[in-house]
Amino acid sequence: MALKANLMQFLDDTGNELVLTEQAKTVFKFLTKIVSSVSEKLDYSQINKLSIEPLKVESLKAKPSTIEVNLNCNSRAAGLSCEGRIEAACIAIDLIEWHCDSCEAAGTIAGWQGTQWDKQKPTLH
């Protein structure tokens, strides 16, 4: 089953971490590591092609680059035995998709843009 998370659910109105249970802290730390890793290497030219161009067969084949996150799958919850590595990609504006390269663990992260874990370089227009 996929974990669909919105980072805003873990934050207060000022963008600081809410008081969380130990289990929620573990999941939150896991998600923010993915957000930081993906956002610092984000290439919007690939995302824009996927989300703005008219639907064509070629655009269906194009996928954003996957980033290997320096994170083991078993770090998402206590007691997991999977030693797989996490891979992730920004698949649309404000949506990161992640998965384990060994097991079926996967999910999406929304609501991460503008948080302290968003490492995108600011763009001046």
pLDDT digits over 19-59, tens only?
Answer: 999 999 999 999 999 999 999 987 655 554 444 444 444 44
Cα 83 to Cα 78: distance, rounded to the nearest angstrom:
13
C-alpha dihedral, 72 to 30 to 75 to 63, nearest 10°: -30
More confident residue, 75 or 58: 75
The mean pLDDT of the chain is 82
- The more confident residue out of 52 and 119 is 119
For position 81, what pLDDT does the model report? 79
8-state DSSP, 75: G
SS3 of 29-70: the string is HHHHHHHHHHHHCCCHHHHHHHHHCCCCHHHHHCCCCCEEEE
Contact 7, 32 (CB under 8 A): yes
Strand order in the sheet with 95-100: 3-6, 106-110, 95-100, 85-92, 67-72
Q: Give the predicted TM-score (pTM) of the model.
A: 0.80
Q: Are 109 and 86 in contact (CB under 8 A)?
A: no
